[in-house]
Chain A
Amino acid sequence: MLHIEAHSLVRRAGTVPLLKGISLQVEAGDSFLLIGPTGAGKTTLLRILGLLDKPVAGNLNILGVDVTGSPDRHLEIRRRMAFVQQKPVAFSCSVLENVAYPLRWRKVSKDEMKTRALEALEQVGMSDFAGRNARTLSGGETQRIAIARALVTRPEILLLDEPTANLDPNSAGKIEDVLARVAREHRTTLVMTTHDLAQARRLAGTVGVIMGGELVECGPSNKVFNPPPDSQIARFIGFKLAEQDFNRMV
C-alpha cells in the first residue's frame, strides 16, 4: 500500500524553480531518506509532503487522499502525520505541555494526554525534563522535545527535516534508535532528509537523491549506495573511485 504518491511536483520561488517535476512513491512502513546537497530542494519537497506549502503543479496523494484536489481535507490528513522541522521551536510553556499540545488539539482527555506525553518523553530520554520551561533547553534538547511532540500523535507518516543536525553524536544515535524502533514497532512511514550519509545507510529502506530540484535517483538503499548509478551521485555520496574507473564499472 502506498502512503505517499507524488507526481510531477513543481514549486517555484518567483521565477526560480525549486522543484522541477518530482515524482516519487513511498510504501507504508518504509523509511524513505532524502539526500542531496544544500539547496537541492529537500526541505521544499518535505514541506509540500507535510501540506505546509502547495506545489504550483503536480498531484499529491497522501494516505489514499488526493490532497491537491481536496484542500478541505488537509487538516484530517495532517492529523495523521507529524513533521519535525530542521530548526524546531519550543512553545513557551513546560516541556510536558509542549509535548501534549498536539493531543490537546485532537481533544484527547487530560489523563490520556499526560500519560502519552510522558511516554513520548521517555522514548527520547527526556522524562526528567517534564517540568522544565521548554524555552530554557539547549538546541539538542529542543530537537528531542520536537521529536517527542511528533511521536506523541502516533503518526502514520513521520516527516523529519534533518532531525539530528543539531545533536551531538551520542544524542543523534539515541534519536536514530528511537526512529528505527518507531518504524519497526509501529510500522510508521518515515520520510527524512539528511546530510549524514552514514545515517542514511543505517536508517534507509529507500533512498532518494535530490539535486537541483530533481529526484535524480530513487531506489533501495543498497542499490543507490553500491555502486552509485552515476558519477554525479557518486561524487555527492563520496564514492571513492576515479571517474574513469567509475564510468567503466557502471
Chain B
Amino acid sequence: MNELWQGIIRALELLVRFDPEVMAITFRSLGISTSACIIATLVCLPLGSLIHFTGFKGKRLLVSIIQTFYSLPTVLVGLLVFIMFSRAGPLGELGLMFTPTLMVIGQALLVIPLMLGLIISALSSLDKTVADTAFSLGASRFQAGILALKEARYAVITSVIMGFGRAISEVGLAMMVGGNIRGFTRTLTTAISLETSKGDIELSLALGFILLIISLVINIALSRLQQVRTSAAH
C-alpha cells in the first residue's frame, strides 16, 4: 500500500514538473488520436449523410453491419492493418510500418464504424420534416445534408467525441502497428503497458492520471453538450 502511495506522489511530481518524457508521450497521443478523429470525421460526415439520405436495397443490413463494428476488437484492426502494411503486405512498399502515420490510419479505421453509425443514428433521429422542408424550398441534396448535420449538431459532436475517446484509449492497435518505439510511436496507453511490465509504477501512474484527466474532460464536454442540447430544445 505504501508503495502505491509513493507511486502516486511521484506520479504527481512528474506531472507538476511537466516531465519532458511524460509531456512528449501525452502530446504524441493527443496528436495521433486527434488526427485519426479528424480523418474519421471527414469520412463519416459526408458518408453518413449519403447513407441516410439515399434509399437503396440493403440499407438496413449495411447499418446493422456498421453497428456490429462498434465493438470491433482493436487487436483485430491492428492485425488487418499490420497485414496490409507489413513489408510483405500489399501496401508494404509505402514503408509506413511502425510510424505515427500508420497509427493514425489504424485509429481512423477503428473509429470510422462507431462514428459513422452514431452520425447515421443522429440524422435518423432528426424530424423527417427538416429534410423535406429543405428539399421543398429548393435545397440540393448537399445543402439539405449540411442543414440536417447542423440541426443534429449536438448529436454529431457527441459521436465525434465518442470516436476520440475510443481512439485515445485503445492499446492493441497502437502496440501492433506503432511498435511502441520510444520518442517516436510511444503513446499513453502503450507506455503504461510497457512501464508497468518493467515495474516503473510511478511513470505508469502519471500517464494513467493523464489518460484519466483526458477521459474526464471528454465526459465533461459530453454532459455540457447534453445540457446545451436540452436547453436548446426548450
Contacts and interface: CB of A to CB of B under 8 A. Distances in A.
Interface of A: 50-52, 75, 78-79, 81-83, 85, 87-89, 91-92, 101-102, 105-106, 135, 146, 149-150, 153, 159
Contact of B137 (A87, A92, A102, A135): A102
Contact of A135 (B130, B133, B138, B232): B232
Contact of B233 (A85, A135, A150): A135
Interface in B125-161: 127, 129-130, 132-140, 143, 147, 150-151
B130 A78 contact: no
7 contacts: A78-B135, A78-B138, A83-B136, A91-B147, A91-B150, A105-B138, A153-B137
Contact of B151 (A85, A91, A159): A91
A79 B138 contact: yes
A52 B135 contact: yes
B127 A89 contact: yes
A52 B136 contact: yes
A87 B130 CA distance: 11
B129 A89 contact: yes
A50 B136 contact: yes
- Interface size class on chain B is 10 to 19
Most buried by B among A92, A106, A146: A92
A106 B137 CA distance: 10
Interface in B213-234: 232-233
Contacts of A150: 137
Nearest to B142: A105
B138 A88 contact: no
B25 to A, nearest CB: 41
B151 A92 contact: yes
B84 to A, nearest CB: 39
Contacts of A102: 137-139
A93 B138 CA distance: 19
B113 to A, nearest CB: 28
The residue in A83, A89, A102, A149 that gathers the most chain B C-beta atoms within 10 A of its C-beta is A89
A92 B232 contact: yes
A208 B62 CA distance: 43
A85 B133 contact: yes
Contacts of A106: 138
A75 B132 contact: no
Contact of A153 (B132, B138, B143): B138
